[in-house]
Amino acid sequence: MKNKNIAGIRRTSLIRKCFRLAALLVLGGALASAQTTDIVGQWGNRFHEDFWERRSGLQIGDFTGFAMTEAGRRMAESWNPSWFSLPHNQCRPHTSIYGIRGPANLRIVQEVDPSSSKVIAYRVDWDLSAFQEIWMDGRPHPPEYAPHTWEGFATGEWIGNILKVTVTHIKAGYMQRNGAPHSDQAVTTEYWQRHGDMLLLTSIVDDPIFYEEPVVKTTNWEAEDIQLAKNHCGPAQVGDENPGTSSDTVQHFLPGKNDQIQEFVKQRRVPLEAALANRAAMYPEYMLKMQADQQAATKTAVRRPAAAQTGFFGKWQLSIARSTFKSDLQNFSLSGADGSAPQWRSWLIEQTPQGIKHTIDTQLVTNATNFLRVQYTAKIDGKDYPVQDSSTMDTVTFRQVNPTTLERTGKDRGKVVETATFTLSADGKVLTIKSDGSGQGVEYHDVQVFDRVEE
Q: How many CA atoms lie within 13 A of 134 on its CB side?
A: 24
Residue 61: what residue type? G
Q: What is the per-residue pLDDT for 309?
A: 55
DSSP secondary structure letter of residue 53: I
Q: Of 219, 163, 210, 160, whose CA–CA distance to 187 is shortest?
A: 210
Question: In this structure, are residues 407 and 418 in contact, taking their beta carbons and an 8 Å threshold?
Answer: no
Q: Is 117 left (phi over 0), alpha (psi -120 to 50) or beta?
A: left
Residue ranges in 111-172 assigned as alpha helix (H): none
Domains of the chain and CATH, by start: 3-237 (2.40.128.20), 314-452 (2.40.128.20)
Averaged pLDDT for residues 389-416: 94
Least confident of 175-184, 255-264, 285-294, 380-389: 255-264
Least confident of 209-213, 219-223, 436-440: 436-440
Classify residue 307 as exposed, middle or buried by CB count within 10 Å of its CB (0-12, 13-18, 19+). Answer: exposed
Element (H, E) at 3: helix 3-6
Averaged pLDDT for residues 20-25: 48
- How far apart, in whole angstroms, are the C-alpha atoms of residue 102 and residue 6? 26
Q: Which residues pair with 357 in a beta bridge?
A: 350, 377
- How far apart, in whole angstroms, are the C-alpha atoms of residue 199 and residue 173? 25
| List of residues 6+ apart from 445 with CB closer than 8 A | 326, 327, 435, 436
Q: What is the per-residue pLDDT for 344?
A: 81
- How far apart, in whole angstroms, are the C-alpha atoms of residue 407 and residue 132? 59
Averaged pLDDT for residues 18-42: 58
Predicted confidence (pLDDT) per residue in 259-276, tens digit: 888 878 877 778 889 999
Instruction: Place 363 in a pLDDT band, splitting at 50, 70 and 90.
Output: confident
| pLDDT at 7 exceeding the cut of 90 | no
Helix/strand/coil for 228? coil
- Cβ-count burial 394-426 (b if 16+ within 10 Å, e if not): bbbbbeeeeeeebebbbbbeeeebbebebebee
Q: What is the per-residue pLDDT for 280?
A: 92
Predicted confidence (pLDDT) per residue in 39-90, tens digit: 999 999 988 778 777 766 677 889 999 999 999 999 999 998 888 888 888 8
